[in-house]
Amino acid sequence: MGQTTITNEELEAMLDRAARKGAKEALASIGLLDDSAQRDITEMRSLLEAWRDTRKSIWNTVTKVITVSILTFIAGAVWMNLGK
């Protein structure tokens, strides 16, 4: 049985074609191979950034509400003790 040899360039070309084909199949399997894929990814990134900003804002608001509540309670307790 004869042996077939290929050059490094041929091997690299084969690997490159296989990688490109695999990447296209992977993108197609998740619906990102069409013309609107770039817009879809940009929108997803924008939504993710908005979600992160919202989550950060919620935590800041919760922290402020808790702080103000504690300070209000302390001020009320002091005011009640001064009134006696």
State the pTM of this model: 0.54
Amino acid 84: pLDDT: 66
Q: Do both 28 and 41 map to the same domain?
A: no
Do 41 and 32 form a contact (C-beta atoms < 8 A)? yes
Q: Do both 42 and 76 map to the same domain?
A: yes
**Mean pLDDT score, 7-11:** 95
**Mean pLDDT score, 7-32:** 95
Q: Report residue 78 CA to chain centroid gap.
A: 47
DSSP string, 65-78: HHHHHHHHHHHHHH
Q: Considering its fold, how many domains does the chain have in total?
A: 2
For 17-26, how does the pLDDT look when each residue is reduced to its tens digit (9 = 90+)? 999 999 999 9
Residue 15 sits in which domain range? Answer: 1-33
Q: Do both 28 and 39 map to the same domain?
A: no
Residues with Cβ within 8 Å of 31's Cβ and at least 6 positions away in sequence, in order, are 37, 40
Q: Do both 39 and 66 map to the same domain?
A: yes
Q: Do both 78 and 51 map to the same domain?
A: yes
Distance CA 49, CA 21 (A): 31
